[in-house]
Amino acid sequence: MDSSRLGIYGASYGSYLAVLALARDPLYRYKCGVAKYGDGDILTSWAQGDRAGREDLERQMGHPSANPTGYRAGSPVYDVANIRAPLLIMHGERDARVHPKQSEQLVEALKRADKTFEYVVYEDEAHGFLRKDNVLHFCATLERFLDWYLL
């Protein structure tokens, strides 16, 4: 394995983990990351998401009022200053599971920290990209991003 060409990619919960890894890896192993419709702040995600998402978070972490410290500690949006790698963020505007405001909040934090990122919103997608044109655009954008930062 060529460790100089290591990226991290995830969708939904995997996206959350990818951003968390970029923000908290003390060895800075990843040269770039891709976050596809994921959470950045699990407290606001709990408040903005659908019922199933809220119930899932509560099963894992308890109600936010009983564990505000845990919800903040589990949210990579507060650690973007530690991110050194470029990040590609993609989200569907109609996402009810992980509200698009999750990506917007992450983008704003990245801007404040003067980080390198790209942000793409698909107006006609929900949680998962299903429309052929959007899937093709996603794949082309992903390929270009990885070519630029890993090759």
> Which of 12, 15, 45, 103 does the annotation list as catalytic?
12
> Which of 39, 41, 95, 103 does the annotation list as catalytic?
95
Closest CA to 85 of 53, 55, 44, 117: 117
User: Which residues have CB under 8 Å from 129's CB, separation 6+?
Assistant: 36, 90, 92, 122, 135, 138
> Which of 41, 91, 99, 127 does the annotation list as catalytic?
127
Is 127 known to be catalytic? yes
User: Which residues have CB under 8 Å from 2's CB, separation 6+?
Assistant: none
- Using CA atoms, how far apart are residues 145 and 151, in angstroms rounded to an integer? 10
Catalytic annotation, residues: 12, 95, 127
